[in-house]
Structure 1
């Protein structure tokens, strides 16, 4: 027996908590590390992040001269757990008159939208609780619920978002009501679908009848470039304590700042503070100061106008490329905002198997099975159109078609 085997056999079993089995990680986030290890040119449709050129880095750098310069030594201190007061005031002002207008006693600053989801689950989810999720869904969100021991119920999505009547039927079949309903109602990740107004009302009606919390995760709502805006679930809920709204600056300003916020019933704010103080104490203060300057300097509105126009241009470019290269073997969604297209192949190719071949061909995407806790959608994939310009997108879609033909056993 080798010394290595002997050592391994003699090592004690680690006393993992039961919840450790629910820490499933993220295929989406893992793709970032994978792409960094590649040495060849890759068109990156995988991560749901703004293009490098879409981040207002020059403006933020200029703000930083004042907000983080020699005269701002306090910018490197601890911050108030609920958020730095200047950012809270600036954000409340920025939201005034929008569908997410709120009050100070409902607002808590977080370290990105993901922390908002984690805080919700930490406060509300017990092991064994039923949580409804969309199918497909943003599996970082569903993974957070799993990490707290939730049982997930997948509800199908169509072009009008979550099929709410199907949810009612599935809940009846499950024989118990959900503790929470997790939805991305506007420009859903990964499908790009938007929950219709009728379904928004019906979802809230069902949640109230069941006493279920609604996690209203809306990172993309401010990025509408077509169609008519819909009221958020936060607005339709009119302060209903069952609605827990999660928002982030990651998609509209810069993901690396890791700043978001939650809007919740006032009676939850102290619980959120208590949970944060047992987690990370406070959100990164320098990042909060940068965002305060961005908001108070009047930069957000102009930035959003520019990004909406550019993302529309990029979505249309991806549609053109898909029509040219995939018109005979696939169908795809047509979102009115956000970052994503959901592409379904109709030639039997498994997109999980396709991933490595596509990467070798120089294009990255996220396979459909990554967006289902039970591994559905092996014929689908998510493409982010926001992060690449039109010419680069055309090249990436051409590479993707070559990879599909290789897997299918053909050539083009």
Structure 2
């Protein structure tokens, strides 16, 4: 039988991998010691492993059966309580449990994005968020960031240049990935106004909001405009508990829930029931708040250690963000040009891993920047990793 080209769907050419996720496999293949600043995840010592192990061992009737597509009722109840405790009113008909936050993004794009639709994203932004929108045929426009988050004031000009309004606006409002910056309240209010004028869905992706370790919280979009049907909120336990659980949720207009159920049933029928039960029991046991109080202090310590190490080893050669929470610092090289994509191989050989800036742009921007995750390493390892990064930069400079 003759072998020709496989009859791939047109969308296959728009499927792009994740440099971030691929780094896990890349690092697993290394045989030398590496300080891991690449993956955005808590280290094992900052996950409540013993408690999760204890609750995962609980024997519960129906634990290994199929579950409700919208989520186990007890977990939905705990999510409602969690959000209410943090000032966000919601109801069961707004909540759909997802297989991680990524499924929430996929569901948003599946419901709202047609091929050719305009989607505004932050530049830089989460690689997988861009990849998801592109997989549904979106046309992306990168909007700039500054220390107060997405520069919402720039959106009308970008829309005018595009000649059409966006179907969706994707934002990470708190401790943004990769920059660490937070969207100011004034800009949140302006974003809500513009989205209302344009009829654009706001995909509100907030994995890090509960990890604030400095200053006062800024009201969520849904707090500023309760009941706004254009807000589609994506949340996850991956960053606050453990990423391997793959438990997240979306909070969206009740009229969408039947569509979300239909879309999710075509993906995975239901999110892992054993994992849902583990998270439910952890939350019901009252463990989340003590856990958050513990890790917030450690994240602050690690952020400060990384900023101190960067100042010590690089001085004024880099500009570094100063987030109030989350996992990440965004480092931009000043003066001497450093291509962080070209630097990566040398840095890996020196024993340090990071994510190059261009990974966070579909326009191949940010070659002079990189993302460092401070969540995964102790202060001592952080200093060692930054020292290795400096050696790699010096080696590239010496080779020119």
Q: TM-score, normalised by structure 1?
A: 0.95
C-alpha contact 1:318 1:394 (8 A) present in aligned 2: yes
**Which of the residues 12, 15, 40 maps onto 1:20?**
12
CA distance in 1, matches of 2:89, 2:379: 35
1:91-124 deviation digits (Å, cap 9, x = unpaired): 2122223133311110110000000000011111
CA distance in 2, matches of 1:318, 1:76: 43
SS at match of 1:133: strand
Match of 2:255 in 1: 267
CA distance in 2, matches of 1:209, 1:128: 21
C-alpha contact 1:130 1:180 (8 A) present in aligned 2: yes
1:209-249 deviation digits (Å, cap 9, x = unpaired): 00000000000000000011001112223111100000000
CA distance in 2, matches of 1:201, 1:137: 21
| Aligned pairs for 1:107-256 within 5 A | 107-256=95-244
1:66-91 deviation digits (Å, cap 9, x = unpaired): 2xx3xx24111111000011111122
Match of 2:310 in 1: 322
SS at match of 1:185: coil
CA distance in 2, matches of 1:25, 1:249: 23
Q: What are the ranges of 5 or more consecutive residues in structure 1 without an aligned counterpart?
A: 1-6
CA distance in 2, matches of 1:239, 1:304: 28
C-alpha contact 2:36 2:353 (8 A) present in aligned 1: yes
CA distance in 2, matches of 1:203, 1:168: 11
CA distance in 1, matches of 2:82, 2:230: 24
Q: TM-score, normalised by structure 2?
A: 0.98
**Which of the residues 33, 36, 47 maps onto 1:41?**
33
CA distance in 2, matches of 1:110, 1:100: 19
**Which of the residues 379, 382, 396 maps onto 2:368?**
379
**Which of the residues 343, 362, 373 maps onto 1:354?**
343
CA distance in 2, matches of 1:25, 1:100: 34
SS at match of 2:85: coil
C-alpha contact 2:56 2:275 (8 A) present in aligned 1: no
CA distance in 2, matches of 1:28, 1:293: 31
CA distance in 2, matches of 1:379, 1:201: 32
* 1:13 Cα offset (Å): 1.1
CA distance in 2, matches of 1:101, 1:82: 18
SS at match of 1:331: strand
SS at match of 2:250: strand
Dislocated runs of 4+, deviation >6 Å? none
C-alpha contact 2:115 2:138 (8 A) present in aligned 1: yes
1:303-357 deviation digits (Å, cap 9, x = unpaired): 0000110000000000110010011311100000000000001210100000000
Match of 1:283 in 2: 271
SS at match of 1:409: helix
CA distance in 2, matches of 1:363, 1:318: 14
| Aligned pairs for 1:47-126 within 5 A | 47-66=39-58, 69=59, 72-126=60-114
C-alpha contact 1:99 1:234 (8 A) present in aligned 2: no
